[in-house]
């Protein structure tokens, strides 16, 4: 059975590509799976999905059109934090498509403007309490950096559909995240919508690279960003964040196969709507024998959305946040033509058409140089980057 209503859209070379005609679509949990085309639910050992992707080689994997959404809670399994796992947590959505076509501005058609009403917003006092608790762990030396995030929940009018959200977010080419994606899943009646600018990994010609983002400044899109860059590039706190995570990624990449990962970009600017970021690039050469699962196992979840050391940061995040991150801070792997890349799902939302709600989440890295009020404000800027692009 093929469900033509299930689809994924990605920004691709200054256009939008829509993948359709899914022949396989499953949601995988720890002990069961759901066929998203038929609705059939059956017992399933997640190790079978791992074994399947141990045989998928990077060298040949991009021969099919495939989208894999890795949810943040998969990190509990990878890092062997089994006590944090439960059977109801969604770990992976895996989709294979047979067709695709490009969408230009004319074929996108009309779309309704997005109007959101706030239901739940982060409280500064509660944030500062969690910040203080986590900061104690930094002082004890149990962690060097951790990522603290908070949810924003909105409602919207019932006449809005998936296309309205997708084309409102991506109406301007310059506003499209380089690693964004949008997947509508009729079975859940939900849209997984990401405008991510961040790359967990990209594979090309036997080489895999990662580009972590750390360091943020608010900017006005109409003004020259170069003066702001002089401030950001010399900010000690932002530099400490970036260098810690760059070193973590260099180590993670070296664990895939050969310990030869190297930093090819140390501090470079990245412009996204309303924000100026800094990022680095780390890369390593791989043999033709490396599997997709091997890369996932060693890189996921991205260090920029956990902290360092990764295992300790994950434990601390669970203690401080007390909620599932889900799609947010997970990764979306896209295989299309010669493209094999994985995002880190920041600037991302889950749009629920049953509840008529949009859940957005945002946060940032905390180090010993961090200030709670400044971090809360930065989180707000990241929220505004996505929500303003979607609604204005």
| Chain segment 3-22, per-residue pLDDT in tens | 449 999 999 988 999 999 99
Average pLDDT over the chain, rounded to an integer: 94
Query: Residue 223: what pLDDT?
Result: 85
| Euclidean distance between CA atoms 259 and 147, whole angstroms | 27
Cβ neighbors of 215 (< 8 A, separation 6 or more) are 232, 235, 238, 239, 241, 242, 277, 278
Contacts of 148 (CB under 8 A, 6+ apart): 127, 130, 131, 134, 317, 320, 321, 363, 364, 366, 375
The model's pLDDT over 67-99, given as tens digits with 9 standing for 90+, comes to 999 999 999 999 999 999 999 999 999 999 999
What pLDDT score does 109 carry? 66
Is pLDDT at 104 greater than 80 in this prediction? no
Q: Which CATH number fits domain 7-215+284-391: 3.60.120.10, 1.10.3720.10, 3.30.465.10, 3.40.50.970?
A: 3.60.120.10
Rounded to whole angstroms, the Cα distance separating 80 from 9 reads 33
- pLDDT exceeds 70 at position 108: no
Q: Which residue matches tokens 């799609």? A: 327
Domain-wise residue ranges, the chain: 7-215+284-391
Give the pLDDT confidence score for residue 126 in this predicted structure. 98
- How distant, in Å, are the alpha carbons of 84, 99, 171 from that of 102? 41, 11, 15
**Rounded Cα–Cα distance for residues 315 and 348 (Å):** 23
pLDDT at 62 over 80: no
- H/E element, 105: helix 105-108
pLDDT of residue 2: 37
Q: How far apart are the C-alpha atoms of 92 and 110, rounded to whole Å?
A: 33
């Amino acid at each position: 059975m093929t469900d033509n209503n299930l689809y994924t859209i990605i920004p691709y070379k200054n256009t939008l590509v829509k993948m359709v005609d899914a022949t396989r679509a499953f949601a995988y949990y720890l002990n069961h799976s759901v066929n998203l085309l038929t609705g059939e639910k059956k017992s399933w050992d997640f190790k079978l999905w791992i074994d399947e992707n141990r045989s998928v080689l990077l060298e040949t994997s991009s021969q099919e059109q495939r989208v894999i959404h890795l949810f943040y809670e998969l990190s509990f399994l990878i890092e062997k934090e089994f006590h944090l796992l439960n059977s109801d947590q969604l770990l992976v959505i895996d989709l294979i498509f047979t067709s695709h076509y490009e969408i230009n501005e004319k074929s996108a058609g009309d779309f309704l403007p997005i109007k959101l009403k706030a239901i739940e917003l982060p409280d500064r006092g509660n944030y500062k309490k969690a910040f203080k608790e986590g900061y104690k762990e930094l002082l004890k030396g149990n962690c060097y950096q951790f990522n603290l995030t908070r949810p924003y929940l909105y409602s919207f009018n019932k006449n809005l559909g998936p296309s309205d959200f997708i084309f409102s977010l991506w109406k301007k080419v310059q506003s499209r995240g380089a690693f964004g994606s949008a997947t509508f899943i009729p079975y859940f009646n939900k849209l997984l919508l990401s405008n991510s600018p961040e790359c967990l990994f990209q594979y090309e010609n036997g080489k895999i690279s990662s580009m972590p983002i750390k360091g943020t400044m608010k900017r006005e899109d109409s003004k020259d960003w170069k003066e702001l860059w002089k401030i950001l590039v010399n900010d000690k706190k932002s530099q400490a964040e970036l260098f810690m995570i760059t070193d973590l990624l260099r180590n993670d990449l070296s664990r895939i196969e050969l310990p030869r990962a190297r930093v090819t970009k140390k501090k470079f600017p990245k412009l996204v709507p309303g924000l100026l970021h800094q990022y680095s690039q780390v890369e390593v050469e791989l043999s033709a024998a490396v599997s997709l699962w091997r890369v996932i196992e060693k890189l996921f979840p991205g260090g920029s959305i956990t902290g360092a050391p990764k295992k300790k940061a994950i434990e601390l995040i669970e203690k401080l946040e007390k909620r599932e991150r889900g799609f947010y801070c997970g990764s979306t792997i896209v295989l299309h033509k010669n493209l094999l890349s994985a995002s880190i799902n920041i600037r991302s939302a889950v749009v629920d058409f049953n509840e008529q709600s949009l859940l957005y989440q945002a946060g940032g890295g905390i180090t010993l140089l961090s200030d709670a009020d400044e971090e809360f404000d930065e989180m707000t800027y990241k929220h505004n980057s996505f929500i303003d692009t979607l609604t204005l």
